[in-house]
Amino acid sequence: MKTFTYTGLPARVIFGFNTTSRLETELDNLSISRALVMTTPLQAEAGRRILEQLGDKGVGLFPDASMHTPVDVTGRALDQFEERGADGIVSFGGGSTINLGKAIALRNDAPQVVLPTSYAGSEMTPILGQTEGNLKTTLRSDRVLPETVIYDVNHTMTLPSLMTVTSSMNAIAHAVEAMYAENANPLLSLMAEEGVRAVVRALPKLRENRDDKSARYDALYGAWLCATCLGSGGVALHHKLCHVLGGSFNLPHAETHTIVLPHALAYNAPAVPDTMMRMRRATGSGTPAATLFDLARQGGAPVALKDLGMPESGIELAVETTFRNPYYNPRPFERDAIREIIADAWSGKRPGR
The residue from 20, 74, 91, 117 that contacts ligand NAD (CB under 6 A) is 117
User: Which residues from 34-63 bind ligand NAD, rule CB under 6 A?
Assistant: 40, 42-43
- Binding segment toward ligand NAD, per CB under 6 A, in 48-56, 75-83, 154-162, 207-215: 154-162
Q: Closest by alpha carbon to 15, among 123, 161, 142?
A: 123
The answer to whether residue 20 forms part of the interface with ligand NAD (CB under 6 A) is no
SS3 per-residue string spanning the chain:
CCCCCCCCCCCEEEEECCHHHHHHHHHHHCCCCCEEEECCHHHHHHHHHHHHHHHHHEEEEECCCCCCCEHHHHHHHHHHHHHCCCCEEEEEECHHHHHHHHHHHHHHCCCEEEEECCCCCHHHCCEEEEEECCEEEEEECHHHCCCEEEEEHHHHCCCCHHHHHHHHHHHHHHHHHHHHCCCCCHHHHHHHHHHHHHHHHHHHHHHHCCCCHHHHHHHHHHHHHHHHHHHHCCCCHHHHHHHHHHHHHCCCHHHHHHHHHHHHHHHHHHHCHHHHHHHHHHHCCCCHHHHHHHHHHHCCCCCCHHHHCCCCCHHHHHHHHHHHCCCCCCCCCCHHHHHHHHHHHHHCCCCCC
The residue from 19, 20, 74, 97 that contacts ligand NAD (CB under 6 A) is 97
The answer to whether residue 118 forms part of the interface with ligand NAD (CB under 6 A) is yes
Q: Mask of contacts with ligand NAD, 250-279, x by CB under 6 A? A: ---xx-------------------------
Least separation in angstroms between residue 210's CB and ligand NAD is 11
- Asked whether 338 and 275 are in contact (CB, 8 A), the reply is no
- Binding segment toward ligand NAD, per CB under 6 A, in 96-104, 146-154, 175-183, 300-308: 96-104
User: Which residues from 288-347 bind ligand NAD, rule CB under 6 A?
Assistant: none
The answer to whether residue 164 forms part of the interface with ligand NAD (CB under 6 A) is no
Exposure string over 138-163, b if 16+ CB within 10 A, otherwise e: eeeeeebbbbbbbbbbebbeebeeeb
The residue from 58, 63, 129, 288 that contacts ligand NAD (CB under 6 A) is 129
Smaller CB distance to ligand NAD: residue 129 or 351? 129
- Binding segment toward ligand NAD, per CB under 6 A, in 25-33, 94-102, 310-318, 325-333: 94-102
Q: Closest by alpha carbon to 201, among 224, 220, 181?
A: 220
The answer to whether residue 153 forms part of the interface with ligand NAD (CB under 6 A) is no
Least separation in angstroms between residue 67's CB and ligand NAD is 5
The residue from 32, 35, 127, 200 that contacts ligand NAD (CB under 6 A) is 127
The residue from 20, 74, 91, 167 that contacts ligand NAD (CB under 6 A) is 167
The answer to whether residue 199 forms part of the interface with ligand NAD (CB under 6 A) is no
The values of phi and psi at residue 39, to 5°, are -150, 175
The answer to whether residue 125 forms part of the interface with ligand NAD (CB under 6 A) is yes
Least separation in angstroms between residue 88's CB and ligand NAD is 20
Smaller CB distance to ligand NAD: residue 111 or 252? 252
The answer to whether residue 120 forms part of the interface with ligand NAD (CB under 6 A) is yes
The answer to whether residue 200 forms part of the interface with ligand NAD (CB under 6 A) is no
Closest residue to ligand NAD in the complex (CB): 95
Q: Mask of contacts with ligand NAD, 64-93, x by CB under 6 A? A: ---xx------------------------x
By CB under 6 A, name the binding residues for ligand NAD. 40, 42-43, 67-68, 93-97, 99, 117-118, 120-122, 125, 127-129, 155-156, 158-159, 163, 167, 230, 253-254
